Amino acid sequence: MASTRICLVRHGETSWNSERRIQGQIDIDLNTTGEAQARALRSALAEFSFAAAYSSDLMRAWRTAGIATADLGLALTPLPALRERHFGVLQGVAAHEAAGRHPEAYRHHQARSPEYRYETGESLVGFAERALSALEALAQRHPGVDVLVFTHGGVLDAAYRAATGKPLQAPRDFPLGNAAINWIEHQSGAWRLVSWGDSRHLQGVLDEVA
């Protein structure tokens, strides 16, 4: 069976990223740095040939995708299944406030409890199934070609673990950089890691913002 390579790109930076505030599915736009990161992506992605481009419909991913694909000649397709995980009661809460405001939720968050739903959100297991099902459907829809996907840190986390066999509950020891370029490959029902965390195109972005 023909393999499909998927280029995964996390959205550019938002003000809540810089504040270490949990966004989840709250719709936050890019900040100035995030816009500059998206422009840097535009040049980096021009080196590749993509058959299709998809994006989470949340503003931070959709705006990143719109800026970064402006020169690629691709129609950008929104895909809500690529949204970030819903973090329930922790959405909108800064990391340093979470333990005090929602101690039970924070404890489960730190432990990566697989079935915990943050009272009103998604479990880790349910979210990973949603994200990976969406990526697998794209691979099946586009066999033998490269596909570009703009999404969120949680989706990248699930994809990396699926491609490397790292358990969902294991602590994360790999980067999920804003606007970095990551590649995974799908063949015969299995995922494989191709490359991860390429951020060379982002050198000088902070100088541009300043």
Specify which residues 195 forms β-bridges with.
183
The secondary structure of 34-51 as a DSSP string is: HHHHHHHHHHHHTTS--S
Catalytic residue among 13, 35, 84, 122: 84
73: left (phi over 0), alpha (psi -120 to 50) or beta: left
> Cβ distance 5 to 143 under 8 Å?
no
Can 11 be counted among the known catalytic residues? yes
Alpha-carbon separation of residue 15 from 7, 87, 183, 192 (angstroms): 25, 18, 26, 33
Catalytic residue among 11, 102, 108, 186: 11
Can 97 be counted among the known catalytic residues? no
Active-site annotation, residues: 11, 84
